[in-house]
Amino acid sequence: MFGPLGFSLAPQIRASRTLSKWFLPFSKWYTDRMGYRKFGLKYDDLLVEEREDVQRALGRLTQEQSYDRAFRMKRSIQSNVLRKELPKEEWLPESQDVRYLKPHVLEVAKEDTERAYWDNLSVQRQK
Amino acid sequence: MFALKSSTRSAHRLARSFATVVDSAGYKVASFDANQPTSSVTFLVKGGSRFETKPGVAHALKNFAFKSSAGRSAIGSIREAELYGGVLSASLTREHLALTAEFLRGDEDFFVKLLTEFVQSPKFAPWEWAEYVTPVVEADTAAAAADPATTALELAHTLAFRNGLGASLFAPAHNDITSTDIAAFASSAFSDVAVLGTGIDQTTLSELVKKYSKKAPASSTVSSPASTYFGGETRVAAHGPDTVFIGFGATGSSSHNLAALSAYLSPEPHVKWSEGVSALASQIPEGTSVKPVYLPYSDAALVGFLIQGNDIKTAGSAVVAALKKAASGVSAEEFTRASAKARFAAASSIESREGFVNVLGSKVLATSEPSASAFLKPFDAVTSSSVSQAAASILKSKPTFIAIGDLATIPYADEIGL
């Protein structure tokens, strides 16, 4: 599975100073090459949203966040129609590419895991 | 011999341990143990609708009870309480919010921890408000709006007291409450908590509260304007049985005369499936019910009648005539009966768990001794003349008249003699 719940080595790389020193320039270059910032999108706009948990997470955004998300989507679709990147001053700067949705997706996943735990709990009498 | 001795000993212990208030880590703890098989612990706070900062916040907070706190999630609280066989409930009155856990003896450790955690570190997550609490609040409001008796009492409070006690118990159907509002209201309401236990030892309870309360309660408190009685008339067209509320308000804390007056006029029978013995009972037409309403609050009381049925005009006129007759005098025999009835109603109300919480909880919050005898003592001062004086004085004030139903047939207040 892709997205925030998928398998990732990022925490291990981030934990090691040497590894992050090697990988950081590469990851920056790679993120930039992905090109979504040239269409004014944030990384979390690319999350697969046709999933129940991501849908619930989307419902937890603040009004302002959902409005901005819809705006970015519209703008990028328009650029796609025009087969053209946005003008350079409208590209998303790296500083604004924050994970606004990921914490909510993780929270929802945690809730689902907890529900599954309580649903499948086997209770033992205390001795 | 032994049995007698043990029973007198336990009676003595009971008399001594009937709810003494102890301050434990900023919480006022009172408990009594009547050797019931189950225990209950209630956290009572001044979180009633009269203290709310925005219409409906108190109702929202009530439905937010036992949602996630720093220690556990909403589903965790419910499922674990289920495993213990306990019942978690929240109830709201105009003055207090009560969070109650009822459980088997021996499980107090878990439930006191759960309640303390919620009171100390509730999360009030915006999505819990949107996903779980809002639908319940809306359902409560819709159910209340569908019941003419509840609607009548809500309107009666609004007309009688306007703000403060006049605030509705139910959130408006369309509201703009946010989880931030609820969190702000909760932090001031949870600053003053009374912990009331039944079926649990006082020392055990205060030790548990001390053990689990990690921080002292916040210092900000809730406030509400002193109640003033206004009165008025309103008519609402609705489906359902025709309903009329005729009531009067009184301000001030002592309203035992009104309790006796309400018992005196009450047409309710003492025996099931029979007619009541009061003079009023025989004049109420078949198919119309008259229920006495007596709602005492800390600084006011609302007393009146809820009339439902086909022949509101006859029943309403009979009620008003009975009230006027009571104002001109109450016979000694009828007074004795009414006084005993009111005293029994008051005494039996503090015997149940909810009654203990509702009636004596406010005393615990005020750190005064919640004793049953002190609660019943003012009834000794009630005499037949004081009851008729109370009737005369409320009749001087403007009545609260609520009509709900088919407005073409329901009479106006002046048509039934008010």
For chain B, the straight-line distance linking the first and the last C-alpha, in angstroms and rounded, comes to 63
Same domain, A105 and A55: yes
Same domain, B259 and B345: yes
Residue type for position B213: S
Query: Residue A114 and residue B130: Cβ atoms within 8 Å?
Result: no
d(CA B48, CA B66): 17
Same domain, A50 and A83: yes
B15 sits in the region (left: phi over 0; alpha: psi -120 to 50; else beta) called alpha
Question: Chain A within 8 Å of B75 (Cβ-Cβ)?
Answer: yes
Q: Are B284 and B142 in contact (CB under 8 A)?
A: no
Enter the DSSP assignment of B130.
Answer: I
Same domain, B255 and B162: no
The last residue of one of the domains, among B212, B247, B273, is B212
Same domain, B110 and B58: yes
- Between the CA of residue A104 and those of A37, A45, A69, B124, B156, what are the distances in Å? 22, 13, 15, 15, 45
Same domain, B184 and B290: no
Q: What is the CATH number of the domain that holds B96?
A: 3.30.830.10
- Between the CA of residue A25 and those of A22, A96, A120, B149, what are the distances in Å? 7, 18, 45, 71
B175-192 pLDDT, tens digit per residue, is 999 999 999 999 999 988
At B118 the pLDDT is: 93
At B183 the pLDDT is: 94
pLDDT at A127 over 80: no
At B354 the pLDDT is: 85
- By C-alpha distance, the chain A residue nearest B78 is A118
pLDDT tens digit at each of 418 positions of chain B: 344 444 344 444 444 445 567 777 778 888 888 888 999 999 999 999 999 999 999 999 999 999 999 888 999 999 999 999 999 999 999 999 999 999 999 899 999 999 999 999 999 999 999 999 999 999 999 999 999 999 999 999 999 999 889 999 999 999 999 999 999 999 999 988 899 999 998 889 999 998 998 776 667 788 888 899 999 999 999 998 999 999 999 998 767 899 999 999 999 888 888 887 777 888 999 889 999 999 999 889 999 999 999 999 999 999 999 999 999 988 888 899 889 988 898 888 888 888 888 888 888 888 777 777 888 888 888 899 999 999 999 999 999 999 999 999 999 999 998 8
Same domain, B169 and B304: no
Same domain, B166 and B273: no
B278-307 pLDDT, tens digit per residue, is 778 889 998 899 999 999 998 899 999 999
Does residue A108 sit within a domain?
yes
At B223 the pLDDT is: 85
- Between the CA of residue B363 and those of B29, B142, B250, what are the distances in Å? 11, 33, 21
Unique residue bearing structure tokens 């009630």: B382
Mutate to test the interface with A, among B67, B72, B75, B109 (most CBs of A within 10 A): B75
The last residue of one of the domains, among B160, B184, B212, is B212
Nearest one of B192, B208, B190 to B200, comparing CA atoms = B208
Unique residue bearing structure tokens 């198919």: B287
Query: Residue A121 and residue B79: Cβ atoms within 8 Å?
Result: yes
At B276 the pLDDT is: 77
Same domain, A14 and A59: no
Helix axes B202-212, B108-120, angle to 10 degrees: 50
Nearest one of B229, B226, B188 to B53, comparing CA atoms = B188
Same domain, A47 and A76: yes
Q: How many CB atoms lie within 10 A of CB B350?
A: 18
Average the pLDDT over A113-117 and give the result. Answer: 94
Out of B76, B127, B131, the one facing A114 most closely (by C-beta) is: B76
Same domain, A68 and A27: no
Q: B181 is in which domain, residue-wise?
A: 33-212
pLDDT grade for A1, boundaries at 50, 70 and 90:
low
Out of B75, B127, B130, the one facing A118 most closely (by C-beta) is: B75
At B18 the pLDDT is: 54
State how many domains chain B has: 2
Query: Residue A60 and residue B127: Cβ atoms within 8 Å?
Result: yes
Q: Are B111 and B101 in contact (CB under 8 A)?
A: yes
Q: What is the CATH number of the domain that holds A75?
A: 1.10.1090.10
At B123 the pLDDT is: 92
Phi, psi of B98 (to 5 degrees): -115, 125
Q: Mind telling me how many Å the CA of B197 is from chain A's nearest CA?
A: 26
Does residue A126 sit within a domain?
no
Q: A74 is in which domain, residue-wise?
A: 36-119
DSSP string, A80-101: HHTT-PPPGGGSPPGGG---SS
pTM: 0.88
Cβ neighbours of B124 in A, within 8 Å: none
Same domain, A91 and A104: yes
Same domain, A24 and A84: no
Same domain, A23 and A48: no
d(CA A66, CA B126): 14
Same domain, A23 and A85: no
Does residue B182 sit within a domain?
yes
The last residue of one of the domains, among B158, B184, B212, is B212
Out of B73, B127, B130, the one facing A114 most closely (by C-beta) is: B73
What are B288's strand-pairing partners? Answer: B309
Q: Mind telling me how many Å the CA of B178 is from chain A's nearest CA?
A: 12
β-sheet with B38-45: strand ranges across:
B22-24, B27-32, B193-198, B38-45, B97-104, B87-92
Q: What are the residues whose beta carbons fall under 8 Å from the beta carbon of B60, sequence distance 6 or more?
A: B129, B133, B137, B171, B177, B181, B182
Does residue B200 sit within a domain?
yes
Same domain, A28 and A78: no
Q: Are B104 and B129 in contact (CB under 8 A)?
A: no
Query: Residue B126 and residue A60: Cβ atoms within 8 Å?
Result: yes
pLDDT grade for A22, boundaries at 50, 70 and 90:
very high
Cβ neighbours of A64 in B, within 8 Å: none
At B238 the pLDDT is: 92
Cβ neighbours of A109 in B, within 8 Å: none
Check the CA dihedral B367-B368-B370-B376 and report its sign: negative
Check the CA dihedral A25-A26-A29-A35 and report its sign: negative
